Structure 1
Amino acid sequence: MKIENRLYIVTGGASGLGKQTVKSLVALRGYVGIIDINIEAGNELMKELDEKHAYFPGKADVTSEAQIENALEKIMTHYKDCPLGGAILCSGVVLPPSHIKGYGPENKLTSYQQFKHIIDINLLGTYNVAQKVGDLLLKNQPFGDDGERGIIITTSSIIGLDGAIVGYGTSKAAVAGLALPLARELSEFGIRSISIAPGPFDTPILDTGTDMKAPPCLFPSRYGQPNEFSDTVIHAIINPMFNGSVIRLDGGLRA
């Protein structure tokens, strides 16, 4: 499926991996609807890239059905003459806010409320947008000889695949586990689903404010760069054989 003159929805699109994905799609003459809770960063990115190619409809929380429906409606209206190609879902958090306490010695174990907070954003928020974008993709006229209608790309993590950090790891394992069932459910309609599982990337999410520090990848012996994630997104969109799979993007690192 091509990128030029197609519309893509990017969640978490105002920072980190999402922001670079927005820039890469626009560089290839795609159009992007940015979904993010950071109003200032969203507006700033839209101005930087020109509203013609990147549109931020205002604050939208992925855990709210009403806010996502409203944001998607605004984006689809803004780009009413541009066919929707799919979504890249990058929003997520590593740790809950400090006011949600853990349990056990020094409150360092994961409480139910901490666990719920992470699951609500990383898993349910991901599915909230995936389902609503999927509903829009169903209305597409099929593209090309394969009859493709679009793609949904989620962002997992090697933390989820390798079993670390109770709340974050479980949420990202579930996101990875969504890729194949979603592909199977949507395949008869020509909609693909994949997940990308990055290792540590040089983005603001690495700054957790704790003493946790991610190791460098095996090779190259460094953190990943955001453009290496967005390059993978671009390739997955273009190559129709990417479907139902989880792509590790970790330089050989295991959590």
Structure 2
Amino acid sequence: MKIEGNLFVVTGGAGGIGKEVVRTIVAQKGHAVIFDLNAAFGKTVSEELGEKNAFFPGSVDCTDEAQVENALEVSLKYFEGVPLAGTIVCHGVLFPPPSLTGYGPTGMLTGYKQFEFYVKVNLLGCYLVAQKVAEKLIKNDPFNEDNERGIIITTTSISALDGTMVGYGTAKSGVAGLTLPLAKELAPHGIRVMSIAPGPFDTPILDPFPGGSPPCPFPKRIGKPHEFADLCVSIINNAMLNGSVIRLDGAFRFNDYVDNN
């Protein structure tokens, strides 16, 4: 499947890796819809790239079914005649808001409300967007001889695969675990599902991380957003990539980091 001439919904598209995905889609002559809570940032990205290329339908809470449905309908009407080809789900939270406290002697153990917050945003929000987009994709005419009708790319984390961070890691484990079952469910309809598990990337999500993130073994740095976006392009272009999770981490392992700190 190709990007040029097609439409993709990008969640978290107003910042971090999501913003870079939006820019890359536009650079590839595709069109992007930005789903993001941050109205100011969403408008800025849309204005920078041109509304005819990157449309921001207004603030969208990806955990709210009505908001997601409405934003999708508004966006499809705006891009009438442009085929919806898929979604790249990039939104997520690494740290809970200060109002949600933990428990234990120092308050650093994961409290139920914190756990609930991670699951709602990182797992349920991911599935909500994926399902609502899939509902549209199954109605597509096939894009190619493989009868491909679209693609869903989600973002999990190496934290999920390395077994760290109770709330965040468990929610992202759900995203990773969703990949193959959803790919099998949607396979008869010609829709692929892939997930990317990034290591530390140079985005604002790492700003509150205590002491910053150490570099990867090689290359000896953290990831750059365009490297995530480039992988999305490769996944979209390669029809045999389906039902799998790809680590994008420069050989970084959370357990090595924990053992050395």
Alignment partners' CA distance in 2, 1:214 and 1:65:
34
Alignment partners' CA distance in 2, 1:67 and 1:192:
25
The residue that corresponds to 2:231 in the other structure is 232
Alignment partners' CA distance in 1, 2:222 and 2:146:
37
Aligned length: 254
TM-score (norm 1): 0.98
Alignment partners' CA distance in 1, 2:19 and 2:59:
15
Give matches, 1:240-251, under 5 Å.
240-251=239-250
Percent pairwise identity: 56
Alignment partners' CA distance in 2, 1:183 and 1:177:
11
Instruction: Give CA-to-partner distance per residue, 1:136-190, whole Å, 9 cap, x none.
Output: 0011011110000000000011011001111001111110111100000000000
**3-state SS, counterpart of residue 153 of structure 2:** strand
Instruction: Give CA-to-partner distance per residue, 1:119-144, whole Å, 9 cap, x none.
Output: 10000000000000000001101111
Alignment partners' CA distance in 1, 2:245 and 2:214:
22
The residue that corresponds to 2:94 in the other structure is 94
Aligned pair 1:28/2:3, yes or no? no
Alignment partners' CA distance in 2, 1:79 and 1:55:
9
Residue 215 of structure 1 deviates from its aligned partner by 1.8
**3-state SS, counterpart of residue 193 of structure 1:** strand
Say which is worse superposed, 4-13 or 169-178, in terms of deviation: 169-178
4+ aligned runs moved over 6 Å, structure 1: none
Give matches, 1:204-215, under 5 Å.
204-208=204-208, 210-211=209-210, 213-215=212-214
**3-state SS, counterpart of residue 151 of structure 2:** strand
The residue that corresponds to 1:51 in the other structure is 51
Alignment partners' CA distance in 2, 1:85 and 1:212:
40
Alignment partners' CA distance in 2, 1:63 and 1:149:
25
Residue 213 of structure 1 deviates from its aligned partner by 3.2
The alignment's C-alpha RMSD in Å is 0.7
**3-state SS, counterpart of residue 106 of structure 2:** helix
The residue that corresponds to 1:253 in the other structure is 252
Give matches, 1:1-255, under 5 Å.
1-208=1-208, 210-211=209-210, 213-255=212-254
**3-state SS, counterpart of residue 107 of structure 1:** coil
TM-score (norm 2): 0.96
- Give ranges in structure 1 of 5+ residues lacking alignment: none
Alignment partners' CA distance in 2, 1:28 and 1:142:
21
Alignment partners' CA distance in 2, 1:80 and 1:159:
39
- Give ranges in structure 2 of 5+ residues lacking alignment: 255-261
Alignment partners' CA distance in 1, 2:110 and 2:104:
9
Structure 2 counterpart of 1:62, one-letter code: C
Structure 2 counterpart of 1:36, one-letter code: D
Alignment partners' CA distance in 1, 2:35 and 2:200:
23
Residue 212 of structure 1 deviates from its aligned partner by 5.3
Residue 214 of structure 1 deviates from its aligned partner by 2.2
Residue 67 of structure 1 deviates from its aligned partner by 0.4
